[in-house]
Structure 1
């Protein structure tokens, strides 16, 4: 009975580890900001396109990706969401702000919020009313 339980435990551990290894890893290139796009011809079905080089921090990369998102929208695009990568982390930009994550489908850390006029700011810098509602937020 013990050998069966041990075999079951080892098989389960191997399955979990193989699932972790199949996750795509963001490139670790120092200072390089990437746009992450879908491409069925690539491994894991995604492609990393260089947006900017020599970016000193992840926030600068987020700003370059926000510029790219706005350019896409001005050209007639309708996708308000964009995914990027910087030094091993993924960057998720949407209409609410910017989030960072270690994986494409895992937990995300909320990093930058949108102000009332659409700019990005550190969440604590946004002034709020007594009831907690942001001041001067544009309607959805």
Structure 2
């Protein structure tokens, strides 16, 4: 009897959780938005940042550019949210994350390299302790010096 009551209560909680309203991003092809969270109970605002963005990575680059410009002007926000074709974009000090909903789980899209640039996570070399290794080397060998 106790097991049946617990199972019924659990099923009821799952049904209530499934009915909870989630915020979804607009699906305008190629349009990149900055997202501003409203006050308690208000819907978020979507401000257009750029048109004709071919991929979500380009939108993330426009949002990162906006974030850096605001910081140069004296702003203090280090995290930015955006939206692109039905997905939310979250930019923070670790990199760029994406999610289908504003409240949902996030997945890494781009990670920061040792010098702060954004790159595909699998392209970043890491040291044994997990810290990023940033090596900037010339792709061409230096020309040998000739003696006079």
What interval of TM-score do these two structures reach, taking the shorter chain for normalisation?
Answer: 0.7 to 0.9
Map 1:52-71 onto structure 2 (within 5 A).
52-71=50-69
Q: Are 1:79 and 2:77 an aligned pair?
A: yes
- Pick one of 102, 105, 114 that aligns with 1:104: 102
* In structure 2, C-alpha distance between the alignment counterparts of 1:87 and 1:135, rounded to whole Å: 33
TM-score normalized with structure 1 length: 0.80
Once the two structures are superposed, residues 40-86 of structure 1 have per-residue CA deviations (whole angstroms, 9 ceiling, x without a partner) of 49x84310000001111100000000001001111111110000000
Alpha-carbon RMSD across the aligned residues, in angstroms, is 2.7
TM-score normalized with structure 2 length: 0.76
Q: Which residue of 2 is the match for residue 25 of structure 1?
A: 24
**Matched position secondary structure for 1:107:** coil
Give structure 1 stretches of 5+ with no counterpart: none
Alignment length, in residue pairs?
132
Change (3 A) 1:67 1:11: same
Max Rg structure: 2
Which has the larger helix fraction? 1
Once the two structures are superposed, residues 2-55 of structure 1 have per-residue CA deviations (whole angstroms, 9 ceiling, x without a partner) of xxx8x9899656633431xx21110011110000003349x8431000000111
Change (3 A) 1:95 1:11: closer
Give structure 2 stretches of 5+ with no counterpart: 136-148
Q: Which residue of 2 is the match for residue 15 of structure 1?
A: 16
Q: Which residue of 1 is the match for residue 140 of structure 2?
A: none
